[in-house]
């Protein structure tokens, strides 16, 4: 029997378990069946375990993305063949399993030079970063961006994408022990959480930055707006501030929500800045064409080595608790991978 990683109920690490499951269903028309080789973990998987996802509640199978080999294709699938290597995106979760059956539009053929780990590492992080920096953020040559969590999966990707633009300055927050790594990845000015990042940014760039990628919410959302130069933007893409450790803290969730102040349209007019929000799941559901267009573009940039996902660590399914701790205990640099 194949295995999968499940979240049994809302709670701590003990709710992450590996269990046997029935084989994935044979592909219907327009679907493919994939034998999974590696799965990417995301901060979103922490929200799922803590009952904070708006999409799924436990019990459920973990995982938004994986890579593997195609075992069968349904009718009307022309672009993918049995034996192809693919990256897979699972909007509703369920990617951390030995087999998955998905719509062909949720699988992207990979050249065999891409390792299983890298194949499982780039979809969520690099698409989120690309849409946030380039589409919503509109970062331009000579601009400056503040990336919160620059050592995480999205932060790592956003740094590389921003640095493709000539003359861009990247400020990045991260735990102190990760500063040398994020500098190698392209962050010009690493900032520790113990420092006051507002004054650190303004000391280097008194006019402020063109873009802030805010994955924290709470009071940081207000600070992000204060840091914008005229015509700058904040792109909101996460709510990491709601998570304070292994267990969900309702107090922390409420405090984050309470300290995230509403944006007044008058304030936007008077200060010439923009606030945007990004959500990859919703974008894929409502505009699959642009999702696939950017997915292919990112893969092309990885093949040409202009972008390079960094693998923090690789774990077995049975080590899911250690893999998840690595993210919640803030030890990862780049992507955490689990393999069947
Ligand atoms: N909207 C979307 O479609 C979308 C898609 C993907 C991701 N996201 C969001 O983007 C953010 C980054 O996601 P990711 O998957 O790349 O995760 P990640 O950055 O790998 O998350 C782990 C890292 O976050 C940092 N961190 C900051 N505050 C934290 C906290 N309160 N608790 C634990 N760690 C904290 C830690 O590193 P340091 O201490 O070194 O900073 C930790 O190592 C998340 O908020 C996620 O929800 C949104």
State pLDDT tens for residues 12-27: 999 999 999 999 999 9
Residue 256 CB less than 6 A away from ligand 1: no
CB atoms within 10 A of CB 60: 17
Please give the distance, rounded to the nearest whole angstrom, from the Cα atom of residue 215 to the centre of ligand 1.
Answer: 7
Cα dihedral sign, 280-104-315-57 = positive
pLDDT, tens only, 71-110: 999 999 999 999 999 999 999 899 999 999 999 999 999 9
Residue 278 CB less than 6 A away from ligand 1: yes
Please give the distance, rounded to the nearest whole angstrom, from the Cα atom of residue 74 to the centre of ligand 1.
Answer: 36
Residue 141 CB burial class (10 angstroms; 0-12, 13-18, ≥19)? exposed
Residue 175 CB less than 6 A away from ligand 1: yes
pLDDT, tens only, 169-180: 999 999 999 999
Please give the distance, rounded to the nearest whole angstrom, from the Cα atom of residue 306 to the centre of ligand 1.
Answer: 23
Substitution site in 39, 40, 41, 43 for ligand 1 pocket (most atoms within 8 Å of beta carbon): 43
Please give the distance, rounded to the nearest whole angstrom, from the Cα atom of residue 240 to the centre of ligand 1.
Answer: 6
Atom of ligand 1 nearest to the CA of 242: 31
Residue 150 CB less than 6 A away from ligand 1: no
The closest residue, in CA terms, to atom 33 on ligand 1 is 328
CA-to-CA distance for 70 and 107, rounded, in angstroms?
10
Residue pair 50/35 in contact by the 8 Å Cβ criterion? no
Substitution site in 194, 330, 334, 337 for ligand 1 pocket (most atoms within 8 Å of beta carbon): 330
pLDDT, tens only, 123-134: 999 999 999 999
Residue 237 CB less than 6 A away from ligand 1: yes
Residues of the chain with CATH 3.90.180.10: 3-121+309-339
Alpha helices in 50-135 (DSSP H): 116-119, 123-130
Q: How many helices, marked H, and strands, marked E, lie in the chain?
A: 12, 16
The confidence score (pLDDT) of residue 104 equals 98
CB atoms within 10 A of CB 108: 23
Average pLDDT over the chain reads 96
Total-model pTM: 0.97
The closest residue, in CA terms, to atom 13 on ligand 1 is 43
Please give the distance, rounded to the nearest whole angstrom, from the Cα atom of residue 82 to the centre of ligand 1.
Answer: 35
Band of the pLDDT at 143, cuts 50, 70, 90? very high
Identify the CA nearest to 95 among candidates 313, 243, 86. Answer: 86
65: left (phi over 0), alpha (psi -120 to 50) or beta: beta
Q: Strands of the chain (E only): list them.
A: 3-7, 16-20, 31-40, 60-61, 65-73, 85-89, 99-103, 107-110, 144-147, 169-173, 189-191, 209-214, 228-236, 274-277, 311-316, 335-339
Residue 323 CB less than 6 A away from ligand 1: no
The closest residue, in CA terms, to atom 9 on ligand 1 is 238
User: For 125-281, CATH number?
Assistant: 3.40.50.720
Please state the CATH superfamily assignment of the domain spanning residues 3-121+309-339 in this structure.
Answer: Medium-chain alcohol dehydrogenases, catalytic domain (3.90.180.10)
Residues of the chain with CATH 3.40.50.720: 125-281
């Amino acid at each position: 029997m194949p295995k999968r990683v499940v979240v049994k109920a809302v709670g701590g690490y003990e709710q992450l378990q590996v269990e046997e499951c029935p084989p994935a269903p044979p592909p219907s028309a327009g679907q493919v069946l994939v034998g999974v080789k590696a799965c990417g973990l995301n901060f979103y998987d922490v929200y799922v375990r803590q009952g904070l996802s708006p999409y799924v509640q436990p019990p459920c199978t973990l995982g938004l993305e994986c890579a593997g080999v195609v075992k069968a294709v349904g009718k009307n699938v022309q672009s993918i063949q049995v034996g192809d290597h693919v990256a897979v995106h699972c909007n509703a979760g369920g990617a951390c399993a030995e087999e998955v059956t998905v719509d062909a539009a949720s699988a992207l053929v990979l050249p065999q030079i891409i390792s299983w780990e890298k194949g499982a590492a780039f979809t969520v992080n690099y698409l989120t970063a690309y849409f946030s920096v380039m589409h919503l953020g509109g970062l331009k040559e000579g601009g400056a961006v503040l990336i919160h969590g620059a050592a995480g999966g999205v932060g790592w990707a956003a740094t590389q994408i921003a640095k493709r633009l000539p003359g861009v300055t990247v400020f990045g927050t991260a735990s102190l022990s990760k500063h040398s790594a994020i500098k190698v990845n392209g962050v010009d000015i690493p900032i520790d959480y113990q420092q006051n990042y507002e004054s650190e940014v303004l000391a280097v760039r008194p006019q402020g930055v063109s873009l802030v990628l805010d994955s924290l919410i709470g009071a940081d959302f207000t600070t992000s707006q204060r840091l914008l130069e005229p015509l700058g933007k904040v792109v909101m893409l996460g709510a990491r501030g709601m998570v304070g450790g292994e267990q969900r803290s309702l107090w922390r969730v409420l405090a984050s929500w309470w300290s995230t102040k509403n944006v007044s349209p008058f304030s936007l007019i008077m200060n010439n800045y923009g606030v945007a929000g990004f959500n990859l799941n919703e974008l894929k559901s409502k505009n699959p064409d642009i999702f696939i267009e950017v997915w292919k573009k990112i893969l092309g940039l990885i093949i040409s080595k202009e972008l390079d996902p960094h693998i923090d660590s690789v774990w077995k399914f049975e080590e899911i608790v250690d893999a998840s701790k690595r993210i919640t205990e803030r030890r990862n640099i780049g992507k955490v991978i689990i393999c069947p």
